[in-house]
Amino acid sequence: MNLKESALGSLMKGSKTVVAFPTTPGPRTPPMEWVTFRMEARGTTLTLEINGKQAWQFEQFDAVSGYIGLQAEGRPFEFRNLRIQELP
């Protein structure tokens, strides 16, 4: 998932953008405020929520296991309350 402000929430596979979001820029988060992401993977379907609103759903995900990458574009990024949970 891309965390660059102009591509916030886009799904990346390697260097290729698989799902681009947002297609139009949303409201900017004020400096020093946290942005909340929730991504859920069920089978081949990925769903992303940003600040409680569904950003996108992608139904052709081709990996059932692997790594999770968080990418910050050329500046420090802070993360908190990062949780990974296996779903039933």
Integer angstrom CA distances of residue 29 from 17, 20, 36, 46: 23, 19, 11, 24
In this model, does residue 3 exceed pLDDT 70?
A: no
Confirm whether 87 is domain-assigned. Answer: no
Sheet of 45-50, strand order: 37-42, 45-50, 53-58
Confirm whether 67 is domain-assigned. Answer: no
Confirm whether 88 is domain-assigned. Answer: no
- Which domain range does residue 16 map to? 5-26+34-58
Distance CA 77, CA 2 (A): 12
Q: How many domains does the chain have?
A: 1
Confirm whether 13 is domain-assigned. Answer: yes
pLDDT digits (tens, 9 = 90+) for 51-83: 888 888 888 888 777 888 777 667 777 888 999
pLDDT digits (tens, 9 = 90+) for 37-51: 898 988 889 888 888
Confirm whether 46 is domain-assigned. Answer: yes
Confirm whether 80 is domain-assigned. Answer: no
pTM: 0.68
Query: What value does the mean pLDDT take over residues 20-29?
Result: 56
Instruction: Categorize the per-residue pLDDT at 8 as very low, low, confident or very high, splitting at 50, 70 and 90.
Output: low
Confirm whether 76 is domain-assigned. Answer: no
Backbone angles phi, psi at 72, to 5 degrees: -115, 130
Confirm whether 41 is domain-assigned. Answer: yes
